[in-house]
Structure 1
């Protein structure tokens, strides 16, 4: 069912999306265990491919873009290191002590999509970079927590921005790339910017599923795409963090489809209602 171009899901369809989300959550957790100095980004991508096959899922990243005339994306995971914001192509690059690595990963299961991102720390990381990742993660949860039935997508955007700015640091909030609706396709309306005014945008209703994904830098928000037509880096060379979860709002509360526990621990710690349809 579509409302003003936005795909609204029935409860049983969201439960199927939860299964895809669990595939994403499990594989990201396993990738984190393998992030270490000396490991290449290509090796991480290879592990993700193996696990997708083991779980009977397919990639929504592999060959993405070809239908619109872009070079087909060659990996199943976007692996972006240090100054790379998003869409980093996995390959021969070896991780080194002190790197931060943002892994954006998705899966399709029975026609339904899951999408999430995590920033992983490689060994001992500079305190400013550790805080960058933690503050970006916090802003994602602030956005999730701002969603409620009858509210607006702008409530999420505003909460993400306020959370980032609350730290009083010169962070750059990347505006060119946004969160999005998700369902039978990975990217659907509506866009979910990481800045904006509360009370604006499409209404949050039952059946709306969103991917909330702040990208934050230690410097400028300006981004540049490299010659490979995919890898997006900061214009000033500052390092970046990217966190993302797929979520929905039910009559009972919030349900994070790409967290192993559905988001229960994080939501409970914030005094927010946990509202799974199943689990």
Structure 2
């Protein structure tokens, strides 16, 4: 069942979204060569606790995965793209890191993700990240009231095709509101003018993710971390978006003054 939100409820989600965007920007600045993934995890735990928020990931137990997820971040490195389990790993020069987080504040959730390169960037990695960001923005533009869910999916798939990247449609975006995962599923590929009508009050997480050279995935032994089947690099971008009568409203925009994944110079910088 799809729950449409009132303007007041969307405003409350925007409060959560602002915190998520700010913390993601902060974490992307902390991520640097020599930083342990667990340092990022514990940094996020502290900030979430200080804000009085609750992680949507802690104790998350879907049909996949091995036991409940006992972390507040998904940290996916290089060929890992989704649900990366934080562990004792020190970031190396040139690593491509995807950070995904979702929290609830006062009963309303927001979910967002970004990808950055720490240290010396490989142009091919920057291009892959750029593709996910361009696809995300194209999908947001397509999320117009009166349109169709397939318009969003087709926008993502069209960008992937223009960059020459295959698309896996098994995992994608989703509805969001009182909980992290609600209906509908938002595929990363599809046909325009198909699917449910986009109506004001619909809130969704749009999350294009691409592997450089395959649309096949595999799971780590931990049951959580999803990797490209051929070991190629991956990237992931995500925003929580509300459909309003005036058009799409991005609820998880990150502050412009923070480290921006779209800026190649910022990707090669280490934290000061």
TM-score (norm 2): 0.91
Once superposed, which parts of structure 1, at least 4 consecutive aligned residues long, lie more than 6 Å away? 66-69
CA distance in structure 1 between the aligned counterparts of 2:231 and 2:255, rounded to whole angstroms: 36
Counterpart for residue 265 of structure 1: none
Counterpart for residue 277 of structure 1: none
CA distance in structure 1 between the aligned counterparts of 2:220 and 2:82, rounded to whole angstroms: 11
Whose RCO is larger (CA < 8 A, sep 6+)?
A: 2
1:235 to 226, 229, 234: 229
CA distance in structure 1 between the aligned counterparts of 2:64 and 2:128, rounded to whole angstroms: 34
What SS does the aligned partner of 2:128 have? helix
1:172 to 161, 166, 169: 166
1:183-216 deviation per Cα after TM superposition (whole angstroms, max 9, x unaligned): 0110111000010100111110010001000110
Counterpart for residue 92 of structure 1: 88
Residue 8 to residue 163, structure 1, CA distance change in 2 (3 Å) = same
Alignment of 1:49-64 (within 5 A): 49-64=45-60
CA distance in structure 1 between the aligned counterparts of 2:177 and 2:255, rounded to whole angstroms: 20
List gaps (5 residues or longer) in structure 1.
263-279
What SS does the aligned partner of 2:97 have? strand
CA distance in structure 2 between the aligned counterparts of 1:133 and 1:69, rounded to whole angstroms: 26
TM-superposed deviation, 1:54 = 1.3
1:67-99 deviation per Cα after TM superposition (whole angstroms, max 9, x unaligned): 999511121000000000111111111111101
What SS does the aligned partner of 1:42 have? helix
Aligned length, in residue pairs: 256
TM-score (norm 1): 0.89
TM-superposed deviation, 1:261 = 6.2
What SS does the aligned partner of 1:246 have? strand
List gaps (5 residues or longer) in structure 2.
257-272
Alpha-carbon contact 2:128-2:212 (below 8 Å) kept? yes
CA distance in structure 2 between the aligned counterparts of 1:69 and 1:130, rounded to whole angstroms: 30
TM-superposed deviation, 1:66 = 6.7
Q: Does 1:189 align with 2:187?
A: no
CA RMSD, Structure 1 to Structure 2 (Å): 1.6
2:140 to 138, 144, 167: 144
What SS does the aligned partner of 2:39 have? helix
TM-superposed deviation, 1:53 = 1.1
2:241 to 247, 258, 262: 247
Counterpart for residue 107 of structure 1: 103
What SS does the aligned partner of 1:163 have? helix
What SS does the aligned partner of 1:254 have? strand
Counterpart for residue 28 of structure 1: 24
